[in-house]
Amino acid sequence: MLFIVVVSIALVVVLKASDLANQGSADPILRRQSLAIAQALLDEIGAKPFGSAATDVVAEGYTAGPVNSATRSLADDMDDYNGFSMNGIGTLGNVAVAGLANYSVSVSVTPAAFGGVPAGDGYRIGVSVTDPANRQMVLETYRARY
């Protein structure tokens, strides 16, 4: 009888540990996907010219300033992304990416001084991605006018 009790307790402990391990097994996938989304958006923004509100060239159908999902492809410089947010990940052409509907993104592009670069000649670009488990991943980079 004592043997059955000991084995039962051991089995419960092993199953509980297995359950906890299985609950966290999707975490690396969600984090990796969040990282890929954030890095792709940082690359997209970083590929734009430095620009400023004073030098914006406005494309037809677009007014200078924060972009949204529909006008993202018309952004002509980095500061246009300040305040950008997207619920569900889409391409530059605003086509939803399958499997990423439960992710959201927000972007900030703000003047920043760093390493001897004055605030007027530098930007801090931050991308925050929230995954389906409601965890945030934030990537930041700096860009200087050159």
Tell me, yes or no, whether 23 lies in a domain: no
Tell me, yes or no, whether 36 lies in a domain: yes
Tell me, yes or no, whether 11 lies in a domain: no
- Which range, of 9-18, 61-70, 74-83, 133-142, averages the lowest pLDDT? 61-70
Q: Which two tokens stand for residue 45?
A: 């923004």
The closest of 144, 137, 113 to 39, measured between CA atoms, is 137
Q: What is the pLDDT of residues 82-120, one digit of tens each?
A: 999 999 999 888 889 999 999 999 999 999 898 888 888
Tell me, yes or no, whether 123 lies in a domain: yes
Tell me, yes or no, whether 61 lies in a domain: yes
- 139 lies in which domain range? 28-144
pTM score, whole prediction: 0.74
Q: Which two tokens stand for residue 54?
A: 């004073």
Tell me, yes or no, whether 18 lies in a domain: no
Tell me, yes or no, whether 42 lies in a domain: yes
Beta bridge partners of 85: 106
Q: Which two tokens stand for residue 51?
A: 């620009």
Q: Three-class SS of residue 57?
A: coil
Number of structural domains found in the chain: 1
Tell me, yes or no, whether 40 lies in a domain: yes
Please say if the pLDDT value at position 39 is more than 80.
yes
